[in-house]
Amino acid sequence: MSSLREECGVFGVYSPESYNVALMTYYGLFALQHRGQESCGIVVNDDGVFNSYKDTGLVNDVFTPEILSSLGNGNMAVGHVRYGTTGSSERSNAQPILVNHMKGRMALAHNGNLVNSFELRRELEMEGSIFHTTSDTEVISYIITKERINSPSIEDAICRAMYKLKGAYSLVVMSPSKLMAVRDPNGFRPLCYGVTEDGRYVVASESCALDSVGAKLVRDVEAGEILIFDKDGIRSIKEHCQKADHRLCVFEYIYFARPDSVIEGSCVHEARIRAGAFLALEHPVQADVVIGVPDSGIDAAIGFSRQSGIPYELGFIKNKYIGRTFIAPGQQSREDKVRIKLNPISSVVSGKRVVMVDDSMVRGTTSKRIVRLVREAGAKEIHLRFSAPPFINPCYYGTDIDSRENLIACKYSIDEIAKIIGVDSLGFLSNESVKQLASGVHGKGYCTACFDGDYPTDVPQEKNKSRFEEKISRNKNKE
């Protein structure tokens, strides 16, 4: 129930023959909606002719039956759901990005965040490039297009571009005749592909999107790999593989990914169960009931219950019909908004010592409101446990934490935070345990920089994600 938001979800499909790939992509994006709720888009490739539509809003609202029908059939499509960490949430920043070039058209969808986007954009602008968005995804498209001029193929241009791109990027790229899946050398963000029984290849940020269209997971795209899907089948370019330490974002297992997804061999649900078990071992407590904060705290609560022997019960009812766009009528307080979205079950917590498990704490404000609801429902004691360590550093790879300024763990001790949010005890998962959540990564590492400051790349020189939306009076580069 944290306020963390991850950047994007990407999806692509290649079909040997003309098919309703728009509808397939719609289903895939619907399954990835949790990765971004600001905007969405689909581009359909019908024998080299690109038809596209994108807008702000949720997938189900943007893509009406009429819009989907207007996209027509094709043999390829790419789709995207967005929450922006670089650039505003305006419609112009919706993806996929479309490029018209003398060497051919290109559609690109991006999940992640570049750490050198400002430097690359400045270089391109000084050469005369004109940008239409404020996102780093357009920077990626420019770099690939620039390399395309002297490259024999689009995949060769992408391979060359990867020498210039620094940071997190999982891409789905579509040319008139090819679909490509690309993952940065560190493998910060997940990307996988599968195949349907009738031979259609599907690429997605998470395996749950493959399931939604009837595709069987084949494997994850390797860190640094470029996969090409075309009329000749599948090809792989591994020029950038094993050129950097593997650093999958560990928060994919804690919060971002759907519990039914499998990422690099590990089930997300099982990883969260394991997190809860570690919590019970590290922060034991005498209590009567364990409850989880929907949605990503529930699995960890079950793990805590199994390890501790304290019974687990459903502690909250979440209103399924309220998304991020919900606006309370009038001047209702934030507490009322939380109450409308989430309501504790009084009979479960009243008069009891309660262990409440959540995924993470960023600023502490949401946790404080939820604790207050459980107190009002009659809880005798509240022992709050988080399945992530405290956030003490900004993230530059696609998570909406761009400074230490509002991180509560940077300002107060654990005991002080417990008093501020009103709990009887407070416990966070240790940095040691968080690196052991997933069993299937087979010795590969995680990015845990937001917890321990161990950044796998150089950090960006320019750290203001809204730098292109600042008012003139605040912009140092004004005329």
Active-site residues, by number, are: 8
- If residue 169 lies in a helix (H) or strand (E), which one and from where to where? strand 167-174
Report the candidate in 313, 368, 321 with the shortest Cα–Cα distance to residue 346. Answer: 313
Q: Which residues pair with 219 in a beta bridge?
A: 193
Report the candidate in 343, 336, 348 with the shortest Cα–Cα distance to residue 380. Answer: 348
Report the candidate in 209, 200, 189 with the shortest Cα–Cα distance to residue 229. Answer: 200
Query: In angstroms, rounded to a whole number, what is the distance separating the alpha carbons of residues 434 and 250?
Result: 8
Residue type at 93 in one-letter notation: N
Question: Measuring CA to CA, how many Å separate 244 from each of 241, 410, 458?
Answer: 8, 30, 13
Burial of 370 from C-beta contacts in 10 A (0-12 / 13-18 / 19+) = buried
Report whether the peptide linkage leading into residue 65 is cis, meaning its omega lies within 30 degrees of zero.
no
Query: Which tokens belong to 188?
Result: 């910060």
Count of residues making up the chain: 479
Name the one residue in this structure whose structure tokens are 């899907």: 229
Residue 289: phi and psi, rounded to 5, are -155, 150
∠ CA 334-338-340, nearest 5°, is 115
- Rg (C-alpha) for the chain, rounded Å, is 23
Question: Do 108 and 99 form a contact (C-beta atoms < 8 A)?
Answer: yes
Written as one string, the DSSP assignment of 419-470 is HHHT-SEEEE--HHHHTTS-STTTT--EE-HHHH---SSPPPS---TTGGG-
- If residue 123 lies in a helix (H) or strand (E), which one and from where to where? helix 117-126
DSSP strand pairing (74-82 vs 8-19):
antiparallel
Written as one string, the DSSP assignment of 322-375 is --TT---STT--HHHHHHHHEEE-HHHHBTSEEEEEES--SSSHHHHHHHHHHH
Question: Do 18 and 75 form a contact (C-beta atoms < 8 A)?
Answer: yes
Beta-carbon contacts of 138 under 8 Å, excluding residues fewer than 6 positions away, are 97, 131, 132
Q: At 82, is the secondary structure helix, strand, or coil?
A: strand
